[in-house]
Amino acid sequence: MAWLVVRLAITVSLLYTASAVFEDQVGKFDWRQQFIGKVRFALFDTHSQASKKLLVATDKNVFASLNSRTGDLFWRHVDKTGPEGHIDALLMYGQDAVVVVGNGRLLRSWETTVGGLKWEAVLDTGSFQAAALVGVQDFVKYVAVLKKSAISLHDLSSGSQIWVENLPDSDTVQYQTIYSGGNGLVFVLGFVPNSHIVIVEYKIEDGEIMKKKSVEAAWMSSLENSCAVISSGILLCVDQITQSLYTLPLQSAEQTEMRQIHLQTLDLEVASGFPPVLTSTQPNPAQPPLAEFFLQLSPDHHILLQLKDGLIAPLRDFNPSYLAAFATSGEKTVAAVMSPKNDTACSINLFSADTGRRHLDTTIIYHMDPNGGKPNRLYVHAFLKKDDSVGYRVMVQTEDLTLTFLQQPGRVVWMREEALADVVTMEMVDLPLTGTQAELEGEFGKKADGLLPMVLKRLSSQFILLQAWMAHLWKLFYDARKPRSSVKNEVTIDTLSRDEFNLQKMMVMVTASGKLFGIDSKSGTILWKQYLENIQPNSIFKLIVQRTTAHFPHPPQCTLLIKDKDTGLGSLYVFNPIFGKKSHISVPALPRPVLQTLLLPVIDQDYAKVLLLIDDQYKVTAFPSTKNVLQQLQDTASSIFFYLVDTSQGKLSGFRLRMDLSTELIWEVVIPTEVQKIVAVKGKRANEHVHSQGRVMGDRSVLYKYLNPNLLAVITESTDTHQERSFVGIFLIDGVTGRIVHEAVQRKARGPVHFVHSENWVVYVYWNSKFRRNEFSVLELFEGAELYNSTVFSSLDRPHPPQVLQQSYIFPAPISTLEATLTEKGITSRHLLVGLPSGNILSLPKMFLDPRRPEVVSEQSREENLIPYAPEMPIRTEWFINYNQTVSRVRGIYTAPSGLESTCLVVAYGLDIYQTRVFPSKQFDVLKDDYDYVLISSVLFGLFFATMISKRLAEVKLLNRAWR
Amino acid sequence: MQYFKRLLDVYIALEALFALSWCFSDAEPGPVAGSQSNGDRFKIEGRAIVPGVKTQDWISTARIQVEGEEYVGFLKTDGSFAVNDVPSGSYVVEIVSPSFRFDPVRVDITSKGKMRARLVNYIKTSEVIRQPYPLQIRSSGPHTYFMKRETWGWTDFLMNPMVMMMVLPLLIIVLLPKVVNTNDPEMRKEMEQSMNMLNPNPELPDVSEFMTKLFSKGSSKSGGGNKGSRSVALKRR
């Protein structure tokens, strides 16, 4: 019963705090974009002519079906991250797609129209080498999977294993390829480096080894790419060193040596240092491949060759050419070749595969993005037109992971920016003011003018406002007459301007591939993109806004620090976040590894904040480093402190800047690495405001918050992972003095720990390994009933340690990420945004994470609006701010204040990107969306007319009475 | 026979004991289990049902998550699923779908591969309320993501009890004197009579009897049944 009462109390209290979405708000201020990642395999559904399906498997362990007409997702399946979900191969036959997952561990067949699994088979362990469809008598029935030491055959319709056989001599021979020509045999090709090739022939019915032979091939160092099976089962290899092609019929018994054909006899030569690549095509897995093949001799030289009567003859030389690919439609096989046209464009042409003749009117012009990368993959979708000629569309993937789908004569049907599937960090930048807005702002800036000019200025600005309003009304009127679909006003970089509540911002996103994006937060349109070449694959990025848009004529300025993970060497890239243009500011060279960056509130004469970079010799580099800045730094050096974390030695150290930009060590805290390791260190966000200094208690006294801006929260995990002895520790350390303000340990707990450090509280989540559940713990720091020094906070002068309150709760779901809402002035109550693995983002009122929640309800706690303590945290689907727009693998949530105090902008990123606004205390500063204008005006008019009429009636009555 | 039954009882009790004890001495945490050989990896099987909805309409957006994203499985076209390569331990299995709500289930796998499903209880973690295994997870309906807007209509306004309480007396006060002409002597007489009717008057026994009759009829009607009224009538006689 008591429980019920508590529940009731909670629900009642929630009525006031819940920030839920209303159904009519769907899509009004939120949007989601779904991504798949870098495409590794792409297959067009050629089963039927009308099919729009494009199946893709990506490096993000995603298997998806795209609509090839629009580029939208039909469905998408996101597997586990890491090698266990890695997609090794994708094969397609008819309606079924067979996928090999997790280094050959799972074999899955998908029903591609529905997007559901047809069957799933678990294979034996062993590293995956190759997979192929196997056909018998023009009919594909099986799928063969080659592992390092075994080959297995599975039924295509049920997934059941037909047979599995060990490969002979698998410890010395590297088996790499499978081939089947539809004649009842499966060939497994392997080789011993620089010695010989091994060919094993299996019977399809029972897996019996029919034949096994080895052929001398002393030149061979790899089978993949340099070998292919063409024509009726002839193995073809190319070797760079001997500059030769080698052929060998797989089935012939007599030929025991590979036939060598010198490339010189064909007037060809492989570019030095380039491993030549052979590409063949087998349109139907139940039939032998074609006799035609591509040979790539250098990065931009392909040649189409044909094997005829044992002789190799060139059909067509494509020099220069970037990419070449085969495609089949019906009985016709074509080859598409991409060649450079000029500096900014490429042309793609279609050639018939058997003759090498060019098809007329098949040119597609592909315009390369000057800010993008080079094309590196070409996928061709060929189809038969009504007049039986071959038409085609192509999908081009570039280095910067842009997918472009083109059709003749070069129309871009759709485009996907798959780099956005891996956003590393982001910032939101205010949009610039328009001319009128700047005028108005300017009025308040100068105060030196006299009275009359001020009045005139005021009048003129009011006039400008009136003019703008009239124009706005006119536009509304004009738009209202047009059909709704055509009104959609396009957002371009030129029409960008700040809206009246600063709700629309520029999202600057940095992706792992080194591509930068500028995205309009209102619509999700990509306004600019910039690909940075030569970025190491696992670099660390840090994005810093040095100058906002507030300092007109100076353009806003962002700095991206790119740091190599292995060497630690960094470089700076400075750009304008609104237009994406690179700035021509001279950037300091960073010859030594960068350990820490520090953005100071000190600004130079151009209003750019100063960025300090600390290298591994504790030397400081300032950027920008003008004379003015250096002078300011010298003046303030004694009050500039920073900290460094060395996780390998478990050392936290604090430094102070000296006048000559060298540093001195002030404090050092060592957390012994034998017991625990530092997992994460977080300070507070610099742009955070705290509105109230304390909390009013039930007895009208005030409990003051301990608001230390220099406080660091350090999370440690035990090195011992045994569930009885593992623990999670938290240290609160003052970053200036090194004093440990508080420490707490959670026993029988382990990570991953997610935490938020803000105001006077730290919220952290850990896994309770004893009870196997996630738990939230909240730490709140208070100064007590009196403030020590209410005017200014100094870490050096704080004699009293803060009072620390802590409470823990059960959270009934796993957690992916954690962040807190942020508003302009910090008046609005805070919510925690919890990213769940299900893809939902939960907005949890901070009220629930209050260590002062009482176990026994008293009059005072009721007065304070404290919710009675309940061990389990509620999760309600109404609190999911992204309703059914789930964000897969949410990795980070970014929050930014808007111009409205009630509103916080939220961007969740992971595999998908979702942008929305949240109102933690509801929209208290603007009229609600559903404000009933009709009612209020009808009531007003009604009252007005009622007074008019009753006045008239009263007059008549008075008159009548007078006559009586 | 009796002996056999007893044996069975003992066996069941023992098994329950074993399960309980196992429950407390949990398997190793994730990383250690991950390094185990593939021999002791198991498969969690089950079926998901959304009543009244065809499987092809929802399975493409759904997936099975075991302990967050630690292990992931997909749904077959008939609604069944299997999550492979799960080492022994205790896991929360959840079907995640943006449109339908499924309750999570805790699945315990012993080191020998024995499976057991039970309700998830985060507070009393050792409590066992068994669920069928292979899992049968039935959706409890679509998610409710949205709050209802407070709509405003004339009927809502008029049907408000406060408004009704205010309006009715107003009507009586304003309208009654107008409808009934108080100056008419006949009318006044009638009203007096009706007032007397309401007042219990010993001089007029028939009226009171009429009233009681009326009330008894009314109450029996609300009691709902011809039988009741007849019996009352009988008693009266």
Confidence band, pLDDT 50/70/90 cuts, at residue B215: low
Q: What pLDDT does residue A567 have?
A: 81
Confidence band, pLDDT 50/70/90 cuts, at residue A843: very high
Residue B208 predicted with pLDDT over 70: no
Confidence band, pLDDT 50/70/90 cuts, at residue A286: confident
Task: List the single best residue of A107, A119, A120 to mutate versus B (max B Cβ within 10 A).
Answer: A120
Smallest Cβ–Cβ distance between A837 and the set B65, B98, B145 belongs to B65
pLDDT digits over A86-129, tens only?
A: 999 999 888 889 999 998 889 999 988 888 999 999 988 888 98
Residue A323 predicted with pLDDT over 70: yes
Smallest Cβ–Cβ distance between A773 and the set B65, B96, B125 belongs to B125
Test A120 with B122 for CB contact under 8 angstroms: no
Test A723 with B94 for CB contact under 8 angstroms: no
Instruction: Spell out the residues 6+ positions from residue A644 whose beta carbon is closer than 8 angstroms to its own.
Output: A595, A596, A614, A652, A653, A655
Confidence band, pLDDT 50/70/90 cuts, at residue A330: confident
A839 burial (CB, 10 Å; 0-12 / 13-18 / 19+) is: buried
The whole model's pTM is what?
A: 0.84
Largest CA distance in chain B: 108
Q: How far apart (Å, rounded) are the C-alpha atoms in residues A519 and A527? A: 6
Q: What pLDDT does residue B4 have?
A: 47
Chain B CB within 8 Å of residue A157 CB:
no
Q: How far apart (Å, rounded) are the C-alpha atoms in residues A105 and A423? A: 29
- In B, which residues are within 8 Å of A932 by CB distance? 152
Calculate the average pLDDT of chain A: 87
Q: Partners of A620 in the beta sheet?
A: A614
Length of chain B, in residues: 237
- In A, which residues are within 8 Å of B70 by CB distance? 80
Smallest Cβ–Cβ distance between B145 and the set A769, A837, A878 belongs to A878
Q: Which of A116, A73, A125 is nearest to A97 (CA)?
A: A116
Chain A CB within 8 Å of residue B149 CB:
yes
Chain B CB within 8 Å of residue A475 CB:
no
Q: What one-letter code names the amino acid at B176?
A: L
Smallest Cβ–Cβ distance between B125 and the set A118, A771, A935 belongs to A771
Helix then strand then coil, in percent of chain B rounded to 5, is 45, 25, 30
φ, ψ of residue A153 in degrees (nearest 5): -120, 135
Q: How far apart (Å, rounded) are the C-alpha atoms in residues A63 and A401? A: 16
Residue in B closest to A875 by C-alpha:
B145
Q: How far apart (Å, rounded) are the C-alpha atoms in residues A798 and A790? A: 12
Residue A200 predicted with pLDDT over 80: yes
Smallest Cβ–Cβ distance between A20 and the set B32, B76, B146 belongs to B146
- In A, which residues are within 8 Å of B98 by CB distance? 839, 884-886
Nearest-neighbour CA in chain B from A503: distance (Å): 23
Chain A CB within 8 Å of residue B155 CB:
no
pLDDT digits over A534-561, tens only?
A: 888 888 899 999 988 888 778 899 999 9
φ, ψ of residue A387 in degrees (nearest 5): -90, 20
Q: Residue range A167-175: average pLDDT?
A: 86
Residues above pLDDT 70, as percent of chain B: 62
pLDDT digits over A874-926, tens only?
A: 898 889 998 889 999 999 999 999 989 999 999 999 999 999 999 998 888 88
Nearest-neighbour CA in chain A from B156: distance (Å): 14
Nearest-neighbour CA in chain A from B199: distance (Å): 41
Q: What pLDDT does residue B233 have?
A: 42
A134, A181 in Cβ contact below 8 A? no
Residues above pLDDT 90, as percent of chain A: 35
For A588, the 3-state DSSP assignment is coil
Q: What pLDDT does residue A951 have?
A: 95
Confidence band, pLDDT 50/70/90 cuts, at residue B229: very low
Q: Residue range A135-150: average pLDDT?
A: 87
Confidence band, pLDDT 50/70/90 cuts, at residue B220: very low
Q: What pLDDT does residue A234 have?
A: 87
Confidence band, pLDDT 50/70/90 cuts, at residue A954: very high
Test A77 with B63 for CB contact under 8 angstroms: yes
For B18, the 3-state DSSP assignment is helix
Smallest Cβ–Cβ distance between B26 and the set A772, A885, A886 belongs to A772
Q: How far apart (Å, rounded) are the C-alpha atoms in residues B74 and B117? A: 19
Q: Residue range B91-97: average pLDDT?
A: 92
A89, A41 in Cβ contact below 8 A? yes
Nearest-neighbour CA in chain B from A813: distance (Å): 8
Chain B CB within 8 Å of residue A15 CB:
no
Test A122 with B84 for CB contact under 8 angstroms: yes
Chain A CB within 8 Å of residue B55 CB:
yes
Q: Taking CB atoms and an 8 Å cut-off, how many pairs form between chains A and B? A: 128
Work out the angle between the directed axes of helices A451-481 and A435-445 (0-180°, nearest 10).
160
Q: Which of A573, A509, A572, A514 is nearest to A538 (CA)?
A: A514
Residue A767 predicted with pLDDT over 80: yes
Q: What pLDDT does residue B227 have?
A: 41
Test B122 with A872 for CB contact under 8 angstroms: yes
Test B63 with A78 for CB contact under 8 angstroms: yes
Give the highest mean pLDDT range of A219-233, A246-260, A301-315, A842-856. A842-856
pLDDT digits over B127-169, tens only?
A: 888 888 888 999 988 988 888 877 766 777 777 788 888 888 8
Test A837 with B68 for CB contact under 8 angstroms: yes
Task: List the single best residue of A775, A838, A911 to mutate versus B (max B Cβ within 10 A).
Answer: A838
Test B149 with A22 for CB contact under 8 angstroms: yes
A158, A109 in Cβ contact below 8 A? no
Q: Residue range B8-22: average pLDDT?
A: 42
- In A, which residues are within 8 Å of B143 by CB distance? 877, 883-884
Test A871 with B120 for CB contact under 8 angstroms: no
Test B143 with A108 for CB contact under 8 angstroms: no
Chain B CB within 8 Å of residue A773 CB:
yes
- In A, which residues are within 8 Å of B65 by CB distance? 837-838
A173, A191 in Cβ contact below 8 A? yes
A132, A142 in Cβ contact below 8 A? no
- In B, which residues are within 8 Å of A935 by CB distance? 152
Chain A CB within 8 Å of residue B76 CB:
yes
Residue in B closest to A112 by C-alpha:
B60
Chain B CB within 8 Å of residue A117 CB:
yes
Q: How far apart (Å, rounded) are the C-alpha atoms in residues A735 and B50? A: 55
**A195 or B5, which is more confident:** A195
Residue in B closest to A113 by C-alpha:
B56
Which range (A474-488, A773-787, A891-905) has the least confidence?
Answer: A474-488
Q: How far apart (Å, rounded) are the C-alpha atoms in residues B71 and B83? A: 7
Give Cα separations from A758 to A682, A707, A710, A712 (angstroms).
Answer: 10, 9, 11, 10
Chain A CB within 8 Å of residue B192 CB:
no
- Helix then strand count (H, E) for chain A reads 7, 63
Residue A878 DSSP label: G
- In B, which residues are within 8 Å of A773 by CB distance? 122, 125
Produce one character per residue of A566-578: b if its CB has 16 or more CB atoms within 10 Å, e if not.
eeeebbbbbbbbb
Instruction: Spell out the residues 6+ positions from residue A866 whose beta carbon is closer than 8 angstroms to its own.
Output: A850, A852, A853, A854
Residues of chain A numbered 711-750 and touching chain B (CB < 8 Å): 721-723, 726, 750
Give Cα separations from A121 to A80, A350, A492 (angstroms).
Answer: 17, 40, 50
Instruction: Spell out the residues 6+ positions from residue A409 whose beta carbon is closer than 8 angstroms to its own.
Output: A363, A364, A365
Residue A13 predicted with pLDDT over 60: no
Q: How far apart (Å, rounded) are the C-alpha atoms in residues A72 and A54? A: 10
Confidence band, pLDDT 50/70/90 cuts, at residue A668: very high
Tell me: cis bond preceding A752? Omega within 30 of 0 counts. Answer: yes
Chain A CB within 8 Å of residue B123 CB:
yes
pLDDT digits over A569-580, tens only?
A: 888 999 999 988
Test B60 with A871 for CB contact under 8 angstroms: no
Test A772 with B69 for CB contact under 8 angstroms: no
- In A, which residues are within 8 Å of B68 by CB distance? 814-816, 837
Q: How far apart (Å, rounded) are the C-alpha atoms in residues A575 and A562? A: 13
For A484, the 3-state DSSP assignment is helix
Nearest-neighbour CA in chain B from A815: distance (Å): 8
Test B32 with A721 for CB contact under 8 angstroms: yes
Q: How far apart (Å, rounded) are the C-alpha atoms in residues A284 and A659? A: 75
Q: What pLDDT does residue A835 have?
A: 94
Chain A CB within 8 Å of residue B32 CB:
yes
Q: Residue range A678-686: average pLDDT?
A: 91
Nearest-neighbour CA in chain B from A72: distance (Å): 15
B65 burial (CB, 10 Å; 0-12 / 13-18 / 19+) is: buried
Residue A293 exposure: Cα atoms within 13 Å on the Cβ side: 27
Helix then strand then coil, in percent of chain A rounded to 5, is 15, 45, 40
